[in-house]
Amino acid sequence: MSGHSKWANIKHRKGKQDALKANAYTKLANVIIVAARTNKGLDLAVERAKKANMTKDKIDHAIKKGRGEIAGAEVEEIIYEAYGPEGIAIIIKVLTDNRNRALSSLRSILNKYNGKLANAGAVSYLFEQKGVLEINLTNQTLSREDLEMIIIDSGASDYEEDEGRLFVYANPKKLEEVKKNIEFKTIKIDNAKLEMVPKTYASISENKKESLIKLLEELEEEQDIDEVYTNADL
């Protein structure tokens, strides 16, 4: 594959969707809070929460908290870089109202699987931020040719198919525009968000893959961690 995270595909096969994660609503609320405060990606954050069946009251509360209309500890976004087994690169996006708690938990999980934190910039150059839109091809009534033409005309930069799903890539600044252009043609988009996509993949020995997968899963289940990316060829 030329773009989409192979770790994301493994999560999909195992059913590790956002709505099924531990602390799902807390994680989704934190995404909305940061989006509302920074005025970036709020529509996408709200849509993501709605698809996970988060109630309107909880969504509105998170928006108000992000805008400072409700008092409370500020949720901040922190990007950590780390190494996993055999030096595999990992990027961890944290959304937390307690930096010390988040860092302590992160270090504990990494140590458990022989991973370690890296200095800023140590692995981030191996990734590129992209807007990623996911389309389930199972129930598409359009021909493949028509679907591809719509994607090309939407302003997307690239696309690829994997396991019955189409991944559409966009410049991060054009993600919402591309999404609207595709949806205007009555094509349902299952997911749309910014991701750190590996520029290339690094090999890892078979006997270390399961350990790495367990590390990534445990990181994603941690309440303060929103997203985890890796360049491992899984």
CA separation for the pair 159, 156 (Å, rounded) = 8
Query: Is residue 108 domain-resident?
Result: yes
Q: Classify residue 174: in a domain, yes or no.
A: yes
C-alpha 99/C-alpha 61 separation (Å) is: 22
Residue 127: CA atoms inside 13 Å, Cβ hemisphere, count? Answer: 26
pLDDT, residue 10, reads 66
CATH (domain of 193): 3.30.70.980
Using CA atoms, how far apart are residues 103 and 125, in angstroms rounded to an integer?
22
Is residue 1 one of the residues assigned to a domain? Answer: no
Q: Are residues 133 and 18 in the same domain?
A: no
Residue 161's pLDDT band (boundaries 50, 70, 90)?
confident
Per-residue confidence (pLDDT) for residue 186, from 0 to 100: 86
The type of residue at 165 is R
Contact 102, 78 (CB under 8 A): yes
- Give the per-residue pLDDT at 118: 96
Residues 220 and 121 in one domain: yes
The answer on 81 and 103 residing in a single domain is yes
pLDDT in tens, 33-86: 999 999 889 999 999 899 888 999 999 999 999 999 988 778 999 999 999 999
The lowest-confidence range among 7-16, 23-32, 132-141 is 7-16
Number of domains in the chain: 3
Max Cα distance, the chain (Å): 52
Report the CATH number that the domain containing residue 44 is assigned in CATH.
Answer: 1.10.10.200
- Residues 134/178, Cβ–Cβ less than 8 Å: no
Q: Which domain holds residue 30?
A: 6-66
Q: For residue range 132-142, what is the model confidence (pLDDT) as tens digits?
A: 999 988 878 88
pTM score of the predicted model? 0.86
Under the banding of pLDDT at 50, 70 and 90, the label for residue 19 is very low
pLDDT at 1: 43
